[in-house]
Structure 1
Amino acid sequence: MAKSYKEIMNDITTFIFDVDGVLTDGSVYIANDGELLRTMNIKDGYAMKAAIESGYNVCIISGGKNEGVRLRLRNLGITDIHLGTPNKVETFEEYTELYAIAPEQVLYMGDDIPDYHVMKLVGLPTCPQDASPEIKSISKYISHKNGGKGAVREVIEQVMKVQGKWMEYFEGNNN
């Protein structure tokens, strides 16, 4: 019998997220100088920081490349940031090999076709509510939230709660 997504959450040590459509709502604002601007949800950032400080691995693998995004993620404490990635599977395999992470220990959240093949490799493929139908069809958990609107916070919080680390983190940090 297959494990439920809640049972799989017990084994998660690593979170990998796409950017556009996951950490953002997929909208791009175009400035007069041609710079592409995105918005990110503060609650997603807070949860990623909590996960890192609780000992989880957090990695970003995105086809987009924006230095503002890199700076935001670095400020949250994320060190494994792979932007402008043409082959997400290759980057995923290099990352998990480097840190000796088993694929079944990984929760990956993606939203569209470029995430499809890497999501087939992980223990817990997840997506935002507004992900493409192809991604929803392979996800073991579909967030109740849209991309850029708290979907990342939702999955991190669920994993940390299942593992008894969510409130433990906040009680230890007196936030």
Structure 2
Amino acid sequence: MRLEDYPYSPQEAKFQKELVTAKPMERKMPSPTDEPDSSKEELTQRLEEMLKAQMVAMSEKNQVAEMLEQKHKLVMPRVESIMKTLEATHAKLKTATMENKTLMAENLRLHQVNAQQQRELAALKVRIAKNEAEEEGEERLLERERQKVNELEEECRRKDRVIAQMKGLFSKTKK
């Protein structure tokens, strides 16, 4: 509140009320028939009362102003401390927000890299399975070829024995 907003002192309020409620014709104006000394005294007395009322009002206003100044002196350091704390907190929050945004961007990038690696791993597993199937097929084919070779070798040995027997018989007959 401003000092002007405070109410008048009781004496000043009474005087203000008299000024406002008095009608222009009811106000005592010095007339030539009045005694000059009594009207001067009355006017002086009223002026003194007004001056006293104003002095009391000014004194009260000054007291209120001093009280407000004291409260201001007590409160302002605390307000300044709170403002500094708020500014520091704001700076920390701003830094944390930036770090959070950076971490979220890094997390998104890593998520995308992970998804790409998962796709590559799945493709690699398919290729491995395909290669293993081909390898199994080749092993079966190789096994069949070995069996054929073994059968042919066995047949060749049998034929060699038959030939050897025939040679043995043939050489016996020649003798």
TM-score range, shorter chain: under 0.3
Structure with higher RCO (Cα < 8 A, 6+ apart): 1
Greater share of residues in strand:
1
Greater share of residues in helix:
2
Normalised by the length of structure 2, the TM-score is 0.18
Larger Rg: 2
